[in-house]
């Protein structure tokens, strides 16, 4: 018997990362990782920097690192809107390390609350990319 599936769209600010049917999905949220199967109840979530994992309808497992965003699951369709979404081979470790250093330097400087929050978000994105890259490609 085939697993129940639903439609998933993952859209980053610069590209459509994925459009297609999946059987399962896990996303990073403020309260930890949330998992979704077909016919999940309606929900809207805030996405934080971390890993998105899903299994396509043909059984292929896909893992990506994402930035901040949001997700809605309704009518057996999930839509994820994030500022960035990258597969393991798209993550540039050197660039992520440089972004982390820039963010650390900015945190040492006196900033407005808005600048401080933006620097924290940059640091979280860089750290999640580095963790992701180290986990999947050494």
pLDDT digits (tens, 9 = 90+) for 104-115: 777 777 778 787
Q: What is the pLDDT of residue 136?
A: 64
Q: Which of 64, 86, 108 is the last residue of a domain?
A: 86
pTM (two decimals): 0.73
Q: Indicate if the pLDDT at residue 1 is higher than 60.
A: no
* 108 & 63 share domain: no
- Residue 52 counted as domain residue: yes
Q: Which residues contact 1 (CB under 8 A, 6 or more apart)?
A: none
Cα dihedral: 93, 10, 26, 134 (round 10):
-10
- Residue 1 counted as domain residue: no
CA dist 100 and 131 (Å) reads 12
* 129 & 71 share domain: no
Model pLDDT for residues 50-104, shown as the tens digit of each residue: 899 999 999 999 999 898 999 999 999 999 999 989 887 776 777 777 777 777 7
Task: Report residue 19's pLDDT band, with 50, 70 and 90 as the boundaries.
Answer: very high
What 3 state SS string does 51-89 have?
A: EEEEEECCCCEEEEEECCEEEEEECCEEEEEECCEECHH
Please state the φ and ψ torsions of residue 102, each to the nearest 5 degrees.
-60, -40
Q: What is the pLDDT of residue 124?
A: 79
Cα dihedral: 120, 121, 127, 132 (round 10):
160
Q: Indicate if the pLDDT at residue 138 is higher than 70.
A: no
CATH code: domain of residue 100: 1.20.5
Question: Would you say 44 and 27 are in contact if contact means Cβ atoms under 8 Å apart?
Answer: no
């Amino acid at each position: 018997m085939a697993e129940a599936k639903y439609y998933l769209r993952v859209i980053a600010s610069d590209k459509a990362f994925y459009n297609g049917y999946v059987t399962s999905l896990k996303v990073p949220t403020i309260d930890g990782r949330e998992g979704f199967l077909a016919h999940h109840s309606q929900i809207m979530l805030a996405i934080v920097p971390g890993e998105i994992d899903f299994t396509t309808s043909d059984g292929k497992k896909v893992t990506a690192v994402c930035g901040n965003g949001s997700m809605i699951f309704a009518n057996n369709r999930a839509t994820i809107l994030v500022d960035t979404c990258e597969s393991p081979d798209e993550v540039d470790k050197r660039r992520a390390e440089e972004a982390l250093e820039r963010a650390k330097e900015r945190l040492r400087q006196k900033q407005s609350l808005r600048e401080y929050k933006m620097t924290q978000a940059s640091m979280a994105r860089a750290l999640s990319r580095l963790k992701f890259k180290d986990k999947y490609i050494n």
